[in-house]
Amino acid sequence: MKNTPMITLKMQDKDTIQLAADLMGCEKISGSPGQQPHYKYMYMARICGYKAADLMARIYSHMSLRRQGQIQSILARYTGPGKLVPNDVREIRKLYATGNYSQNQLAAKFGVVQSNIHKIIHRGTWKYIKP
């Protein structure tokens, strides 16, 4: 999964990992025995793609500067599941802000539907993209 954001949580407490998985929107958790016979069972929850990108954007301001840099780097490379890339999103927002383009005109220009343009402009999607 090249350039796909991913968040993985691992821990030994199944109840806690299940709660975290539910909060992350992860459909299932997996488990595996420890690497040594005396190690405890390890549970894991993982989200990828747009779910991980959205969660990264939401927790960004709570992270250290080092982690913020890592998140920025990951999200800058992520093209999302659709036709648009981050630079397209910046351009859409910039063009709309001029007042010279309607949402329908931008939709036609970028090959998407008007509702996608609306969500981009009002930060319903691509929230993590900075100007």
Nearest Cα to Cα of residue 1 among 52, 37, 65, 44:
52
Single-letter residue type at 41? Y
Mean pLDDT over 61-77 rounds to 88
The structure tokens listed for 39 are: 């190690």
Place 80 in a pLDDT band, splitting at 50, 70 and 90. Answer: low
Q: Can you give the pTM of this predicted structure?
A: 0.57
Count other C-beta atoms under 10 Å from residue 100's C-beta: 8
Nearest Cα to Cα of residue 22 among 50, 51, 42:
51
User: With 60 as the cut, is the pLDDT of residue 1 above it?
Assistant: no
Least confident of 28-32, 59-63, 79-83, 99-103: 79-83
Q: Which fold has domain 1-80?
A: Endonuclease I-creI (3.10.28)
